[in-house]
Structure 1
Amino acid sequence: MNAQPPLQVRYATHPAQVPGFDTAALRSHYLVDDLFTPDAITAVLTHHDRIVLAGAHPAGGPLTLGTWPELRSEYFLERREAGIVNVGGSGTVTADGTKYELTTGACLYVGRGVREVIFDGPDAAFYVFSAPAHTDFPTTQVNPGEGNRLELGDQQTANRRTIDQYIHADGVRSGQIVLGVTTLHPGSTWNTMPAHTHDRRTECYLYFGLPETGKIVTIASLLSFQGGVTVPAYTASKHAVAGLTRALANEWGPAGVQVNAIAPGYISTDNTTDLRADPVREAAIQDRIPAGRWGRPEDVVGAAVFLASAAADYVNGHVLAVDGGWLAR
């Protein structure tokens, strides 16, 4: 049994285009949500670095990796290399007759020139990351814990994580691919904050093994509660955020998803530079804050960690003010 749907193609975008994208456009350009289809190999080609992302789910029997007309190749790895990670139950990958047993989280690098790749295992799900290759490297397997293991982050900031670096300059060699698996520790909810991007390469993230329940934290404002001065549009939008938060809490609560909001007070950021430079307004604001100071961005972190953690499993539809006591006056 072997199904290989047509190759999906995503075209490159210029950074100047992105600010004009709405949520639907961002998802259509950058989100792949249908890689793993039972008894099929599904793939997406992005013109960013000519990367191919594929998913193989051999639920009913072995699946053989073919090629697609858009790649102009006799076989898939004729001019490509691939990193494969098993994100399901145990299974096997056979590369030109050599069978490799892959447990959950194990990685197999398959070099340029391998003609036949076969996926097998009814409970397995294989994630394939492929890039053009300019030279040959040997097919190599790395099991969880055998690569370069890093322990990063801190439980206090909810980003404690174990990184298994598999394919990289000091590990399994490749032409272009750098690949690893990050495992979040219990109670941790993200990788790095703030989020970051890289100009020098394309990064693709696959999230797997996620709990079916979840947390959503929106950003409201003091003006979700008050009217403000000379900012009617901002006030209207932040009232809307608070209302949407409560509405989604009602909608998604039965599915195990908690939706809450943080309402920061007056925080010292670039956005408030002009306000803090006005001696009259700055003094009036600070005089009203019981904490006696403007907030700092790090003051919001604890609220975010709490609302995103298991400690907030029974908190839903709440707008949490982080304002130094402003609303208490």
Structure 2
Amino acid sequence: MTMRVLYGAGPGDIDGYGTDRLRAEFLIEKLFVQGELAFAYTHVDRMIVGGAVPTGAKLSFGDGKDVGTPHFFTAREMGIANLGGPGAITVDGRRFALENRDILYVGRGAKEVVLESEDAARPAWFYMNSVPAGADIEHRLIRKAEAKPLDLGEEKRANKRRLAMYIHPEVAPSCLLLMGITDLAPGSVWNTMPPHLHERRMEAYLYFDMAAEDRVVHLMGRPDNTRHLMVANGDCVLSPAWSIHMGSGTGPYAFVWGMTGENQAYNDVTPVPVERLR
């Protein structure tokens, strides 16, 4: 297991960032390597993002040395999305089978998490979001069919999409974590359009189901001072509360969104008219 640490940046810092520095601070690459488990810890609301692709052997974690507590989950909760082939997650001896697009909520107090694929030739891709938690909430598997869908956008604006809420007060409760998956309709390319800010929550975007040759142009920064990141399949973008976030793809894609902060009010946002962007 590896743990990368990122310290975050303020909106004034990005004026001096070139492409490499911007990517180093806000883009997490190579989360999904066969047979490996990797995490990245960001000081932006202390979220941890992770990826695991178990093949021949199971992958496990639970030690708290990287977060300064006896166990990883002593003061944390987590959502784990399966974005690949069928797999299973065992939490303290309790086994959950996950199909593609299922998400498991792991509550505070877990001691060990074990990840495995049903078929090493078609492994599971486990994507993880973990945030500090101050309440004990029971582990729960949320299947794709149990997520709450929300249809957004318009075909004529190429931003028609279906947002599915998984870890959300209306579906499965948590302490501070929100997590879900958004799919774009055929022919649509824009996500989170028009853009917005949510000053009371940060967000992580994990782009997936993309062809190797395609990219998402992810836009970030203040509305009057934008920057862009070229994002490949399986890359994760950290979006601080001060930053807009929106993107457009060169081909089909989907993304997992995870949020944490002061509240779980999904609509607590400040819209940014496109004409204000610079």
Q: Distance in 2 between matches of 1:197 and 1:204?
A: 13
CA contact (8 A) 1:148 1:164 kept: yes
Q: TM-score under structure 2 normalisation?
A: 0.74
Per the TM alignment, residue 216 of structure 1 is displaced from its structure 2 partner at its CA by: 8.3
1:31 equivalenced with 2:27 (yes/no): yes
1:112 equivalenced with 2:89 (yes/no): no
CA contact (8 A) 1:153 1:161 kept: yes
Structure 1 residue aligned with 2:205: 205
1:85 equivalenced with 2:84 (yes/no): no
What whole-Å deviation, never above 9, does each CA across 1:227-252 have from its counterpart, x for those lacking one?
A: xxxxxxxxxxxxxxxxxxxxxxxxxx
Within-5 A mapping of 1:298-317 = none
Per the TM alignment, residue 70 of structure 1 is displaced from its structure 2 partner at its CA by: 3.1
Structure 1 residue aligned with 2:178: 178
Show structure 1 runs of 5+ residues with no match.
218-304, 311-329
Q: Distance in 2 between matches of 1:68 and 1:45?
A: 13
SS in 1 for 2:196: coil
Q: Distance in 2 between matches of 1:66 and 1:35?
A: 18
Q: Distance in 1 between matches of 2:6 and 2:164?
A: 29
CA contact (8 A) 1:145 1:164 kept: no
CA contact (8 A) 2:74 2:108 kept: yes
The one-letter code of the counterpart of 2:129 is F
CA contact (8 A) 1:160 1:188 kept: yes
Per the TM alignment, residue 108 of structure 1 is displaced from its structure 2 partner at its CA by: 0.6
CA contact (8 A) 2:64 2:73 kept: no
What whole-Å deviation, never above 9, does each CA across 1:47-66 have from its counterpart, x for those lacking one?
A: 01111111111012211123
Structure 2 residue aligned with 1:98: 94
Structure 2 residue aligned with 1:47: 43
Q: Distance in 1 between matches of 2:186 and 2:53?
A: 28
Q: Distance in 2 between matches of 1:67 and 1:34?
A: 22
Within-5 A mapping of 1:1-329 = 4-5=1-2, 7-67=3-63, 69-121=65-117, 122=120, 123-214=123-214
The one-letter code of the counterpart of 1:77 is F
Q: Distance in 1 between matches of 2:39 and 2:7?
A: 14
Stretch of structure 1 that moved more, 30-39 or 194-203: 194-203
Q: Distance in 1 between matches of 2:156 and 2:250?
A: 12
Q: TM-score under structure 1 normalisation?
A: 0.63
Change (3 A) 1:45 1:215: closer
Query: Hey, which of these two has a bigger chunk of strand by percent?
Result: 2
SS in 1 for 2:144: coil
The one-letter code of the counterpart of 1:206 is L
CA contact (8 A) 2:88 2:116 kept: yes
Change (3 A) 1:108 1:133: same
Q: CA RMSD of the aligned region, Å?
A: 2.1
Per the TM alignment, residue 68 of structure 1 is displaced from its structure 2 partner at its CA by: 5.2
Percent of aligned positions with the same letter in both sequences?
37
Q: Distance in 1 between matches of 2:251 and 2:85?
A: 27
Q: Distance in 2 between matches of 1:174 and 1:185?
A: 29
